[in-house]
Amino acid sequence: MGESRTELVAWVNDLLGNVGVQKVEDCGKGGAYCQIIDSIFGDVPMSKVKMNANQEWQYLANFKVLQSVFKSKGIEKPIPVDRLVRCKMQDNLEFLQWLKKYWDLNFPGGEYDAVARRKGQGGAPEGGLRSTKSPVGTAPGRTSTTSTTAARRPVGTVPARTAGPRSASAVPDAQIAALTTQMNEMKVSVEGLEKERDFYFQKLRDIEIIIGARLESDDETMTEVEKEQLLQMQAILYSTEEGFEVPDAEEEVEEEETF
111-166 pLDDT tens trace: 999 999 988 776 544 333 333 333 333 333 433 333 444 444 444 444 444 444 44
Task: Select from 89, 70, 87, 90 the least CA-distant residue to 78.
Answer: 70
The DSSP code for 54 is -
Predicted confidence band of residue 242 (pLDDT cuts 50, 70, 90): low
pLDDT number for residue 12: 95
Residues 139 and 111: their CA atoms lie apart, in Å, by 48
With vertex at residue 14, the alpha carbon angle to CA 9 and CA 19, rounded to the nearest 5 degrees, is 75
The predicted pLDDT at position 123 comes to 53
Q: Please, which pLDDT band fits residue 203 given cuts at 50, 70 and 90?
A: confident
The mean of the pLDDT values for the chain is 77
Distance CA 182, CA 186 (A): 6
- 35: Cα within 13 Å, side-chain hemisphere: 31
62 CB-near residues (< 8 Å, 6+ apart): 29, 30, 31, 33, 34, 49, 50, 53
Q: Is the pLDDT confidence value at 1 over 90?
A: no
Range 104-114 average pLDDT: 93
Cα–Cα separations (whole angstroms), residue 178 to 66, 133, 147, 167, 191? 59, 44, 39, 20, 20
Out of 18-27, 68-77, 106-115, 156-165, which region has the weakest mean confidence (pLDDT)? 156-165
Share of the chain above pLDDT 70, in %: 73
Q: What is the largest CA-CA distance in the chain?
A: 86
